[in-house]
Amino acid sequence: MPTASAGPRLIIMCGLPGSGKTTLAKLLESRLGAIRFSPDEWMDALSLNLYDEEKRAKIEALQWKLSQELLAYGLIVIIEWGTWGRSERDTLRLGARALGAAVELHYLSVPEDVLFDRIQRRDLERPPIEREALSRWFAIFQAPTPEEMALFDEPLIANVVADPASGRS
């Protein structure tokens, strides 16, 4: 049963591949009655290569445009793009606040070894993500600092552990 909406709200998932963004986003989607935007799912539906960064950027821009329209209607929107960079997260936070929306940031911090293990088990990407690529991404990922986290609103549902084995994710 979705929780009653307390007004427009943007929920941002932040984390590297395999950190659990989609798993948690699906849980929050069903609990909050939110609209979830996943670039991977749209790319898959359009038969696009998940490594096509140009198309991914276009899809994210389209999803952000739709997100802002839905926030203006007072809805809860979840975006799960990874949001690796501080400036990208700033743009989303300020854009949502300009529409009168609350903004949550869920940072999924997972050790590199665990990420690689999960990515291998999931077996989604073709070709598979290589260990070396993951190490490079780890180095460029800008983890949110406590100072940045303080700029966001308290989550409606906090400390939720999305258990992929429960079948609800």
Ligand X SMILES: Nc1ncnc2c1ncn2[C@@H]1O[C@H](COP(=O)(O)OP(=O)(O)OP(=O)(O)O)[C@@H](O)[C@H]1O
The β-bridge relationship of strands 102-107 and 9-14 is: parallel
Binding of ligand X at residue 23 (CB under 6 A)?
A: yes
- The residue written with tokens 């984390």 in the block is 15
Q: Is 43 in the site for ligand X (CB under 6 A)?
A: no
Give the integer Cα–Cα distance in Å for 58 and 149: 27
8 scored as a contact of ligand X (CB under 6 A): no
Backbone angles phi, psi at 21, to 5 degrees: -60, -50
Which element (helix H / strand E) includes 55?
helix 53-72
Instruction: Name the minimum Å distance from CB 147 to Mg ion.
Output: 27
Nearest approach, Cβ of 12 to ligand X (angstroms)?
13
Positive or negative, the CA dihedral 117, 164, 63, 98 is negative
DSSP H helices in 107-165? 112-122, 131-140, 146-149
Identity of the residue, 5 or 169, whose beta carbon is nearer to ligand X in the bound complex? 169
**Residue with smaller CB distance to ligand X, 8 or 77:** 77
Among ligand X, Mg ion, none, residue 162 binds (CB under 5-8 Å by kind): ligand X
- Amino acid at site 39: P
Q: How far is the CB of 82 from ligand X (least distance, A)?
A: 6
- Interacting residue ranges for ligand X, rule: CB under 6 A: 15, 17-23, 40, 82, 118, 121-122, 161-162, 164
Q: Which residues bind Mg ion (CB under 5 A)?
A: 21-22
